[in-house]
A and B are shown apart, each in its own frame.
Chain A
Amino acid sequence: MRRYVQTPGPIGEFSELALRQRAGPLDLVYVAYGMLVVAVVVASYLLGAFGWLPYDPQAMDVGLINAAPFTSGHALGTDFLGRDLQARLILGIQAYFLPGLLAITISVVGGSILGVLAGYRGGWFDTIITYFDNLLDSFPRLVLILLVIAAFKPDIYYVMVVVGVTGMPVIANLIAGKIAFLRQKSFIEAAHALGLPAHTVILKHILWLNCRALLVIQATLGMGEAILVETSLSYLGFGVQEPTPSWGNMVQAGANYFLQGNFWPSTAPALAILATILGFQLLGDGLNNVLEGKRRK
């Protein structure tokens, strides 16, 4: 005799969540590429931090100025002072890694707190946060950063604090919007009625279970943002100061020799910036689709 058993699968209506499309293979490619970039960045950071570099990044070789790639063991060539580009490129990550994490931490933590206050408490908190948001929006970020640099000193950490603070309203808005959406569903109220303490509701049920994908995505996008800001500052000469390498000041320094045909000193860091920012953007995008599901068109 045979037995036929039905496994209980989903039945009934589909919610908005279930209606979202599964992520496609392209999203997985995005995520894989993004992960690779993250791995390379972390590895480079560790190499730089422990000083395991192919060459001394500060050693100048006046005989080998602006050498082309693959000349006498310099895989990426040398810059205008004959310093090894590969080593400087790897060391350049130091300028972004911890400062970038600082910016992300500030914007994610601060944004979450403001978002919860605006969405959960509402009332005048909401009003104040909206004003704060408008204030930051109406003020060019670069000008704000230059102001801070002028007031203190051109330190990348000061810059990143500004990047973090100016990144807060975006996250606060997203979280407040999410909470407003969740409020329409009554589960926050139901959780209170079941006697769950407010901190459990906010931290676990709102931020962890419902906003974690959003926060991860914002964090990855924030890293790309941090690199971009440093690059533009370096181009103006306010970023990381020579002789400490950063990708931004490497591009800037190399640009003087670009038209003379020595394109590699600025092309190598420019490509690194491109590949890295692209990696973080695609990671954010791909994670969004993988974790949240694509919105069906």
Chain B
Amino acid sequence: MDAPLLAIDNLRTYFYSRAKRAFIRSVDGVSLGVTRGETLGIVGESGSGKSVTALSAAGLVTAGPGVISGSIHLHSNGVRRNLLDGLEKYARVTEQEGRVMAVEKDERGWRKHSETLMAGVRGKEIAMIFQNPRSALNPYSTIGKQLVETIRLHTNLKGESEARERAVHWLERVRIDSPRLRFDNFPFGMSGGMCQRAMIAMALSAEPSLLIADEPTTGLDATIQSRIVDLLAELKAETGITTLLISHDISVIQRLSDRIAVMYGGTVVETGRAAEVLAPEATMRHPYTAALLASIPSAETIRRKSYLQAIEGEVLDTIEVPRGCRFYGRCNRVTEAIRENCAGLEPPLGEVAPGHKVRCWLYPAAGKA
């Protein structure tokens, strides 16, 4: 296996709550690798830090203090670069017993430096699509113009007419009917699904190495959602593009991902091949993953008119992160044998099977790690 295209290592992205005078530990030591050609799905509830992880990778975190430590390596076109290279000199993190107590960050310096590192990467190597595609397009410009703009920016097609042809070609590739007529449509003249297709065309037209799809189906109708998922699957088969897919919708993740990372409270709690993590008969899984899967209504539950399986309690408040396992407060599988560990010590990410890691004291591998 060659080097992963994107390797995020021990990334921490914090925000600050002025009211509580405390850090919001949005992404708290996340390590992820996306191998060339695969789709890595990140799943988790709102507030688990999945979107912030993606924004950090694209250098788009604007609120302070933002990214405070870690490394993000992008290995594309034979060049390996750290997107956070040399940025540590702008942030001074004071820690006490593993907890960040203070961050001093020269945000202007950081942003300037980050922009130079991201130049030629954002949009070109790493493209991103967002939720609510209607609002992600400029309402006062036609989709054709917007597409031509990105094509001329990122490819060597600098001529207007060549870029136009390429734009029409991309509209065709994202299955937009009569692309030549659609070219001159404004976003408000198109449906949400259509706008998302245009967004995908814009993102892919630069032929990026990595596509980050941040909740690409959220904000769309259910039927359109499934069409967009189909489109992403087809484009994936055609172009083989590496994708980092983020969704709270486990069924979307299930259909598109090769590997899955489950996030909770700013950390990855389980990662492995999609088939293994989601396999119905799997036993070695994180209680949170199990709860997530159980909460999907099946035909069976609907037929039996039984209640939906909600996960008890609330999503972890990442301001007051407990000492032990982050899921401890909601976990229904704590046994007396491990309770002490669960409450007092954060479990490490232990390998339960080759390539399948779980952050839970239930599995002896965790203890060994």
Contact = CB atoms under 8 A, between A and B. Distances in A.
A17 B139 contact: yes
A194 B205 CA distance: 10
A53 B323 CA distance: 88
A199 to B, nearest CB: 12
Interface string A189-202: 11111111000000
A193 B141 contact: no
A17 B139 CA distance: 8
A195 B182 contact: no
Interface residues of B, number: 41
A8 B176 CA distance: 11
B262 interface: no
A192 B122 CA distance: 8
Contacts of A12: 189-192, 194
Interface string A1-25: 0000001111111110110000000
A187 interface: yes
B60 interface: yes
A15 B177 contact: no
Contact of A195 (B131, B177, B206): B206
A26 B128 CA distance: 45
B263 interface: no
Interface string B131-144: 11011111111000
A297 interface: no
Interface in A154-184: 184
Contact of A8 (B123, B154, B178, B188): B178
Interface residues of A, number: 26
Interface string B176-211: 011001100111111110100001001100100000
A203 interface: no
A42 interface: no
Nearest to B224: A12
A296 interface: no
Nearest to A194: B123
29 contacts: A10-B188, A10-B189, A10-B190, A11-B189, A11-B190, A12-B189, A15-B188, A17-B139, A185-B134, A185-B136, A185-B139, A186-B136, A187-B135, A187-B136, A190-B136, A190-B137, A193-B58, A194-B122, A194-B123, A194-B128, A194-B153, A194-B202, A195-B122, A195-B153, A196-B150, A196-B153, A209-B140, A210-B138, A210-B139
Interface of B: 58, 60, 121-124, 127-132, 134-141, 149-150, 153-154, 177-178, 181-182, 185-192, 194, 199, 202-203, 206
Interface of A: 7-15, 17-18, 184-187, 189-196, 205, 209-210
